[in-house]
């Protein structure tokens, strides 16, 4: 299925004998890729179900395809999630795209003491919509049956509460001495990585994350930019657990 065009449909769309591509996917299939019956395409619901389908007809501008075969793929474990400190400009957009391509299950942005940017409710909703669109587009480009989950930015307090409920958490902090590889055990079913904002974590914040169950770890003697640290740390985790390499 990997050599065929990939399309994304809403959850629950692949249960019957036919599937209708949503308007944006139909436009891309018909206008850009010139898909026409009986071309074979790959369709996924972004939650693990992947179907090989044959384009059958066009109705009202929507492409309808017959489901030839489908399979449910299981996510690789451990599931990696990232809590990313807020950053200015398009840095978070780049982080979301790269992490989605690497197979990260979930990325959530949060505010902290040294965060440069702030947002109101309207801006938070716009950011969540944009990050979701980036995650969906990247899943298609990378031929992934899973779309990385994104959410509206969190306050420091809400992020801390979520970290306290994680199965295993490592916190990247320049003041830590424990190497990341030493903190990785298991493998757990899920591991969370917490990355600070452009100014890093204040000592009090690092201590609060440790009190919430996070292990404070170091990536080495070099200080990485906030947009580079999650990429390096995720790659290290994936390699450690045999998911890449």
What are the helix and strand counts (H, E) for the chain?
A: 7, 11
**Where, residue-wise, is CATH 2.40.240.20 in the chain?**
6-72
What pLDDT, on a 0 to 100 scale, did the predictor assign at position 31? Answer: 96
pLDDT in tens, 177-210: 999 999 998 889 999 999 999 989 999 999 999 9
Dihedral of CA 152/155/160/165: which sign? negative
CA 225 vs CA 174, 208, 218: distances in Å: 11, 22, 14
**Where, residue-wise, is CATH 3.40.1280.10 in the chain?**
79-240
DSSP state letters, 45-58: -SBSEEEEEEEEEE
Q: Identify the architecture of domain 6-72 in CATH.
A: Beta Barrel (2.40)
This prediction has a pTM of 0.93
Asked if 18 and 65 touch (Cβ cutoff 8 Å), the reply is: yes
**All residues at 6 or more sequence positions from 61 whose CB lies less than 8 Å from its CB, including other chains:** 23, 26, 27, 30
CATH of the structural domain 79-240, one choice from 1.10.760.10, 3.30.1220.10, 3.40.1280.10, 3.30.460.80: 3.40.1280.10
Q: List the chain pLDDT tens, one digit each, 245 residues.
A: 557 889 999 999 998 899 999 999 999 999 999 999 999 999 999 999 999 999 999 999 999 999 999 999 999 999 999 999 999 879 999 999 999 999 999 999 999 998 878 888 899 999 999 999 999 999 999 999 999 999 999 999 999 999 999 999 999 999 999 999 999 988 899 999 999 999 899 999 999 999 999 999 999 998 899 999 999 999 999 999 999 98
């Amino acid at each position: 299925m990997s050599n065929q065009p990939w399309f994304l449909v809403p959850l629950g769309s692949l249960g019957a004998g036919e599937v209708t591509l949503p308007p944006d996917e139909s436009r891309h299939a018909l206008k850009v890729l010139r898909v026409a019956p009986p071309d074979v395409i790959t369709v996924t619901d972004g939650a693990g179900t992947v179907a090989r389908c044959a384009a059958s007809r066009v109705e009202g501008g929507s492409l309808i395809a017959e489901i030839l075969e489908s399979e449910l793929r299981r996510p690789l474990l451990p599931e990696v999630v990232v809590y990313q400190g807020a950053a200015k400009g398009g840095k978070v957009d780049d982080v979301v795209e790269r992490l989605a391509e690497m197979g990260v299950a979930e990325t959530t942005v949060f505010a902290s003491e040294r965060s440069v940017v702030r947002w109101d409710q309207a801006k938070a909703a716009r950011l969540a919509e944009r990050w979701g669109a980036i995650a969906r587009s990247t899943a298609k480009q990378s031929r992934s049956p899973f779309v990385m989950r994104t959410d509206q930015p969190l306050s420091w307090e809400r992020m801390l509460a979520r970290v306290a409920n994680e199965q295993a958490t490592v916190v990247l902090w320049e003041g830590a001495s424990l190497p990341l590889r030493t903190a990785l055990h298991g493998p757990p079913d899920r591991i969370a990585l917490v990355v600070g904002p452009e100014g890093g974590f204040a000592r009090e914040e690092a201590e609060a994350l440790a009190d919430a169950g996070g292990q404070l770890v170091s990536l080495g003697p070099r200080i990485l930019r906030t947009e580079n640290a999650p990429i390096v740390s995720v790659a290290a985790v994936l390699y450690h657990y045999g998911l890449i390499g």
